[in-house]
Amino acid sequence: MRKWKRINRREKTLNTPIGIIDSGIGGLTVAEEIARQLPKEPMIYIGDTARCPYGPRSAEEVRLFTWQMIDHLVNENIKMLIIACNTATAVVLDEVRERLPIPVVGVVQPGALAALNVTKRKEIAVIGTEGTIKSDAYPQAISSIQGGKVTVHSLACPTFVPLVEQGRVSVDEAHRVVADTLKPLLQKSFDTLILGCTHYPLLASIIQNVVGEGVQVISSGSETAREVSTILQHQGLNRKDERTREHVFFTTGSVQHFQTIAKRWLGLEDQIVDHLILAEKIV
């Protein structure tokens, strides 16, 4: 695996982009929040739509695919990396932080912290992919922050990502699938629900309807964007250039499908979307 030379952060160009990776199009929910909260910052996004979802895959596959995307972005001279996939965050975040000379942000810790800030009964539910739920990433993150004083209920929702990837988020089928999937969770007591997958905010209104208005629904995407803003300011990496910034999107799958979804979610009329072929192995 490639090793990157550590460099002085002062040598980094402040106008270089933020890199974002995801298993598919779900990370666009994070990109949308960054575009809103940090309008000066350019982004380079990679969505591995050809191999999505990551949730049912082995940890080794997730690790390999994630490093392939990172390898490409590092060659694009990014100043910060956001792992916008909860499954990838759970598998490789610590390793990536150790190896890269730039700030690396995951989506688990911000979501866990936000949930702890709003829960009143210290009863939190987490929904995510099979990989994220099996990793216990959220219960561990919550425990590391709060200790053993919080009850956490977890549920894998493997049917949600295909709904979002296929753009079927506004049909009656989506409501039926969400309601059926969340039935086991509704037997539990909780006042806060973490959307532990960046695809899930696209189903947020349906999920809210199913769990009821008494439950606070937390999107890790918006909280991640806040952490990114804090890190950029603290480390002096925020962009100074006032010129219009340009975002670039890569997909390993259909460019046309990705453009349609990105336009619908981000409202970007002329975004650049290129097809990306990732190497079979990291060199």
Together in a domain, 26 and 56:
yes
C-alpha separations of 223 from 56, 96, 209, 228 in Å: 25, 20, 22, 9
Lowest mean pLDDT across 127-131, 188-192, 206-210, 221-225: 221-225
Task: Quote the pLDDT of residue 283.
Answer: 35
Residue 36: which domain range? 18-106+223-275
Structure confidence at residue 7 (pLDDT): 41
Whether residue 40 sits in one domain with residue 92: yes
What's the N-to-C CA distance of the chain in angstroms? Answer: 6
pLDDT over 70 at 26, yes or no? yes
- Runs of H (alpha helix) within the chain: 28-37, 59-75, 86-99, 108-118, 130-135, 137-146, 160-165, 172-181, 204-211, 220-234, 255-266
**Residue of higher predicted confidence among 104 and 11:** 104
Q: What is the pLDDT of residue 49?
A: 94
Examine the fold and report which residue of 192, 220, 248 is the final residue of a domain before the chain moves on.
220
| pLDDT for 1 | 44
Residue 4 belongs to a domain: no
pTM for this entry: 0.89
Q: Residue 247: which CATH number? A: 3.40.50.1860
The confidence score (pLDDT) of residue 112 equals 95
Q: pLDDT digits over 224-281, tens only?
A: 989 999 999 999 998 877 666 788 999 999 999 898 877 776 665 667 899 999 865 4
Instruction: Report whether 87 belongs to an annotated binding site.
Output: yes
Residue 268 counted as domain residue: yes
Catalytic residue list contains 197: yes
Is 23 annotated as contributing to ligand binding? yes
CA 10 to the chain's CA centroid? 28
Predicted confidence at residue 169, as pLDDT, reads 77
Q: Is 55 annotated as a binding residue?
A: yes
Residue 166 lies in a domain: yes
Higher pLDDT, 21 or 240: 21
Give yes or no for residue 6 having a pLDDT over 50: no
Which candidate in 21, 81, 85, 217 is catalytic?
85
Read off the pLDDT band of 18 (50, 70, 90).
very high
Task: Kindly give the interhelix angle for 86-99 and 137-146, rounded to the nearest 10 degrees.
Answer: 60
Tell me: do 24 and 65 sit in the same domain: yes
pLDDT for res 165: 86
For residues 210 and 178, the answer to whether their CB atoms sit within 8 Å is yes
Which residue among the candidates 197, 207, 232, 237 is catalytic per the annotation? 197
Residue range 135-184, pLDDT digits in tens: 999 999 999 998 778 999 999 999 999 988 888 877 788 999 999 999 99
Per-residue pLDDT of 83-124, as tens digits, reads 999 999 999 999 999 999 999 999 999 999 999 999 999 999
From 183, 200, 220, the end of a domain falls on: 220
Q: Is 24 annotated as a binding residue?
A: no
**85 carries an active-site annotation:** yes
Residue 181 marked in a binding site: no
The pLDDT value given to residue 183 = 97
Domains of the chain: total: 2
Is 54 annotated to bind ligand? yes
